[in-house]
């Protein structure tokens, strides 16, 4: 095998004739320059390909040659091939047997087409989600008539993983939120000598808005992604199909236990976040404004009406329902390829966080209108 000299191309052209002399190894490694050379060639006279100097050829070399030969022929130029060797011609005939069809590069769709398709898919996605919710509720009604079918053990297990195991991260997040709010407010309040109002600020903003929101976002990132990945993996390994054939409804076994568990765990986590967040505020109030813990708690009893606390807790089940339904729905959408599990997990978390914030906004408007 002495034939590792790179492929070369020399072109001799005059008004009546163009001679293209090919030599060297026309293999995939050496084709880059030749392809560019052939691309720039604009012959105007009949062509002769002299391929006697080609020492070695692979299918890439043959394809390149064929592409250009046929494009020249399409321009109405006659072509002639001389010096073809048997082993090269044999490969050519193997690749270009008579049933070979032309290939054309796929066309890129226009922006209007893309916009239309994306809009349609988005609408279809909402339809599919409603379909999923509808099916879930039908199954729920059926299950409620047969309470023995409720998967209590699964619910408890999910409360443990989504609730108890989330305590450390919720504690840190809530504490830091309490610290941040207290710091920012105390600077402003000190200007008016109204330091003591830090208690009102912390108490109301945390229990009513911040603790529920932060907790829900952390849970969406933590448990929502886990739900999608779990169900997606089960879908890929056909475990969900296996369950269906055995008569185990995936809604009863997989979806509702997760929804119930999260609806129970999230309000409890919010209560926990309230406590830790207020504690964070108390620490800052003492260090920055010398408001002692006992002073703070005494003031809190008067400054924080119970309704703010209740509103915060009541948001929990709503947020939980949204997170759990969206993430299980996305889990069922995973298809049989490895990339889709990551894609749908991302979608699930993004959708869940968006829905939580939208739902919180709705609560704000609704409750303000009701003057609560």
Partner 1 sequence: MSRTIIRVENVVTTFGNTLVHDHVSCTVKENEIYALLGGSGSGKSTLMREMIMLNRPHSGTIEVLGHNLESITPSAAHDLRRKWGVLFQSGALYSSLTVGENIALLYKEYADLPATLIQELVALKIDLVGLPRHAIDLYPSELSGGMTKRAALARALALDPTLLFLDEPTSGLDPLSSRQFDALIQQLRDLLGLTVVMVTHDLDTIHHIVDRFALLGEKKVVAEGTLAEVLSIEHPLIDYFFQTERISSYSKETHGIQG
What phi, psi does 88 have (nearest 5°)?
A: -75, -40
32 binds partner 1 (CB under 8 A): yes
60 binds partner 1 (CB under 8 A): yes
Question: Segment 326-345, which members bind partner 1 (CB under 8 A)?
Answer: 335-340
Q: How far apart are CA 367 and CA 307, in angstroms?
A: 11
Integer-rounded Cα Rg, in Å, for the chain is: 35
The widest CA-to-CA distance across the chain, in whole angstroms, is: 105
Q: Say how far apart CA 244 and CA 137 lie, in whole Å.
A: 18
Q: How far is the CB of 35 from partner 1 (least distance, A)?
A: 5
In the set 20, 31, 210, 220, which binds partner 1 (CB under 8 A)?
Answer: 31
Minimum CB distance to partner 1 smaller for 62 or for 264: 62
Q: Which is nearer to partner 1, 1 or 126 (CB)?
A: 1
Residue 100 lies near partner 1 (rule: CB under 8 A): yes
Could you say which of 66, 69, 149, 222 contacts partner 1 (CB under 8 A)?
A: 66
Tell me which of 22, 54, 64, 291 binds partner 1, using CB under 8 A. Answer: 64
69 binds partner 1 (CB under 8 A): no
Q: Applying CB under 8 A, which of residues 40, 42, 105, 369 lies at the interface with partner 1?
A: 105
From candidates 15, 76, 103, 146, binder to partner 1 by CB under 8 A: 103
User: Which residue number, 40 or 368, has a Cβ lying nearer to partner 1?
Assistant: 40
Burial of 337 (0-12, 13-18, 19+ CB in 10 A): exposed
Closer of 149 and 343 to partner 1 (Cβ): 343
- Phi, psi (rounded to 5 degrees) for 8: -135, 165
Spatial separation of the C-alpha atoms in residues 71 and 63, rounded to whole Å: 12
| 89 is a site residue for partner 1 (CB under 8 A) | no
**Nearest C-alpha neighbor of 337 from the set 235, 195, 228, 241:** 235
**Contact status: 233 vs partner 1 (CB under 8 A):** no
Among 2, 16, 98, 99, binds partner 1 (CB under 8 A): 99
Binding mask 163-202 for partner 1 (x = CB under 8 A): ----------------------------------------
The nearest distance, CB 97 to partner 1, in angstroms, is: 8
Residues of the shown chain interacting with partner 1 in the complex, contacts defined by CB under 8 A? 27-29, 31-32, 35, 39, 58-60, 63-64, 66-67, 90-91, 94-97, 99-101, 103, 105-106, 335-340
């Amino acid at each position: 095998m002495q034939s590792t000299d790179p492929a070369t191309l020399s072109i001799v052209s005059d008004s009546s004739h163009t001679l293209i002399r090919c030599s060297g190894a026309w293999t995939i490694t050496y084709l880059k320059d030749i392809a560019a050379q052939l691309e720039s060639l604009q012959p105007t006279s009949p062509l002769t390909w002299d391929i006697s100097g080609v020492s070695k050829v692979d299918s890439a070399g043959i394809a390149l040659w064929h592409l250009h030969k046929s494009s020249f022929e399409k321009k109405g130029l006659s072509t002639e091939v001389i010096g073809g060797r048997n082993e090269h011609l044999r490969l050519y005939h193997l690749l270009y047997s008579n049933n070979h069809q032309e290939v054309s590069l796929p066309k890129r769709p226009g922006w209007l087409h893309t916009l239309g398709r994306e809009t349609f898919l988005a609408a279809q996605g909402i339809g599919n989600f409603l379909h999923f919710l509808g099916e879930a509720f039908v199954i729920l009604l059926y299950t409620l008539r047969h309470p023995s079918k409720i998967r209590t053990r699964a619910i408890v297990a999910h409360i443990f993983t989504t609730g108890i195991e989330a305590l450390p991260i919720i504690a840190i997040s809530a504490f830091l939120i309490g610290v941040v709010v207290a710091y920012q407010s105390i600077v402003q309040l000190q200007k008016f000598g109204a330091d003591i109002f830090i208690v009102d600020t912390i108490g109301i903003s945390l229990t009513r808005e911040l603790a529920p929101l932060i907790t829900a976002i952390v849970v969406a990132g933590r448990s929502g992604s886990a739900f999608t990945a779990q169900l997606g993996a089960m879908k890929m390994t056909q475990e969900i199909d296996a369950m269906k054939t055995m008569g185990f409804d995936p809604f009863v076994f997989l979806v509702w236990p997760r929804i119930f568990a999260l609806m129970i765990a999230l309000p409890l986590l919010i209560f926990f976040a309230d406590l830790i967040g207020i504690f964070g505020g108390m620490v800052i109030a003492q260090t920055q404004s010398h408001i002692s813990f006992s002073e703070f708690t005494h003031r809190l009893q008067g400054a924080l009406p119970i309704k703010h606390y209740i509103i915060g807790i009541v948001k929990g089940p709503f947020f939980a329902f949204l997170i759990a339904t969206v993430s299980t729905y996305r889990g069922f959408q995973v298809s049989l390829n490895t990339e889709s599990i990551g894609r749908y997990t991302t979608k699930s978390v993004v959708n869940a966080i968006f829905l939580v914030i939208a739902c919180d906004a709705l609560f704000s408007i609704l409750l303000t209108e009701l003057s609560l």
